[in-house]
Amino acid sequence: MNRFLENSVLARCFHNAVNFILVLIIVAAMAGCAALTHKDLVPQPSVNSSRSHPLFNGSANVHSIIIPEFIEGGQALPSGRLTLLLEKYVDNGMLEKALEDSVANSSLFTRVEQKNPDYVLDVWVEEAKNYTPTMGIGNFTADFSSIWRLTRVSDGKIFVCDFVNGHGVIKSGMRPMQRSLFAGLQDMIQNGLLVLSETSKEHFAARSVAGIRPSMGPAVPEGLTPWADNVKKNWSKLRMGLTLEEVESFIGPVKTSGAMLKAYAKDYTQAYDTGLYTIVFLNGKLSRWELR
């Protein structure tokens, strides 16, 4: 009788243990299936979140844009690699909200606000690449290249204009490709905050590319107004069929104006968008130009 009771107790304990393990597995699976949000992009802990005084004495307005529409890479196939729509996995609304939260947590500024800021932080994500291993076995990686520019609203002075990269690696689990993209953007944000905090170093490597690029906020970077005036003055000289070099001889630099370049059909079509104008070349010849 005692042995029977002992066996019954052991059986119940074993049954309870199995149920407990199954519950843990289900909870973990549900957690893995939970939708990723902008909070998953925020670095933890944020850079210099323990700072007692803001590094920049003023408020900040944060803006971002993810320029690439597709991810370069994808899963390896016999015919090559797939290109995937990036916004299906992460969109700019998530990124901008994560940037706002990250900047607020960093204590680099007195506060983050949309109206009447003292500084504007513009973040342009220029490139996005993804690697998905064949058969899904191996590391899922993502790489992002971006430009971060910090401009003071009162006079257009640029404090930072630099390239910032991000790299993410995920080995397995639920939605590893999407999580690798999130990890790459999170790393980019972390590195960007480090750039902003390093006031002892100059961070102007991207100034020739985006120094006079129109801001997505209320700032007007120094040098933008003379460049814009020259463009408007000579815009009427543009005509169909001009080469890029000929266009630049009339309105000034295009490649180094901060224009965001989108190329299609293996560079057969190239569209330059500066915020002030859009210029499109087909096979190296001017085909469309629009001044805003």
d(CA 196, CA 122): 12
Structure tokens at 208: 């020739």
Provide the number of structural domains found in the chain.
3
Average pLDDT of the segment spanning 186-202: 94
For residue 6, tell me if it sits in a domain: yes
Task: Let me know the angle formed at the C-alpha of 38 by 33 and 40, rounded to the nearest 5 degrees.
Answer: 60
Which of residues 182, 210, 238 is at a domain's end?
Answer: 210
Domain check: are 13 and 44 in the same one?
Answer: no
Determine the Cα angle at 115 with ends 112 and 119, to 5°: 55
Better pLDDT: 114 or 266: 114
Domain match, 52 and 183 both:
yes
Is 58 found in the same domain as 147? Answer: yes
Domain co-membership, 56 together with 132: yes
Q: Looking at 210, 236, 251, which one is the last position of a domain?
A: 210
pLDDT digits (tens, 9 = 90+) for 126-175: 999 998 887 667 889 999 999 999 999 999 999 999 999 999 999 877 88
φ, ψ of residue 170 in degrees (nearest 5):
-130, 135
> 32-87 pLDDT, tens per residue?
457 899 999 999 865 555 566 788 999 999 999 998 888 866 655 555 556 778 88
Q: Angle of helix 224-234 relative to helix 244-251, nearest 10 degrees? A: 110
83 with 194, same domain: the answer is: yes
pLDDT score for 23: 42
218 in a structural domain: no
Answer for the pair 99, 217: CB distance below 8 angstroms, yes or no.
Answer: no
User: Tokens representing 216?
Assistant: 């997505």
Measured distance CA(228)–CA(251) in Å, rounded: 9
Ordered DSSP codes for 95-140: HHHHHHHHHHHHTSSSEE-SSS-SEEEEEEEEEEEEEE-GGG-S-E
Residues 167 and 284 in one domain: no
Q: Return the percentage of the chain with pLDDT > 90, whole number.
A: 59
Residue 17 clears pLDDT 60, i.e. is over it: no
- Bridge pairing between strands 84-85 and 70-77: antiparallel
Residue 130 belongs to what domain range?
A: 38-210
pLDDT digits (tens, 9 = 90+) for 166-175: 999 998 778 8
What is the domain-level CATH number for residue 242? 3.30.1450
Record the pTM.
0.80
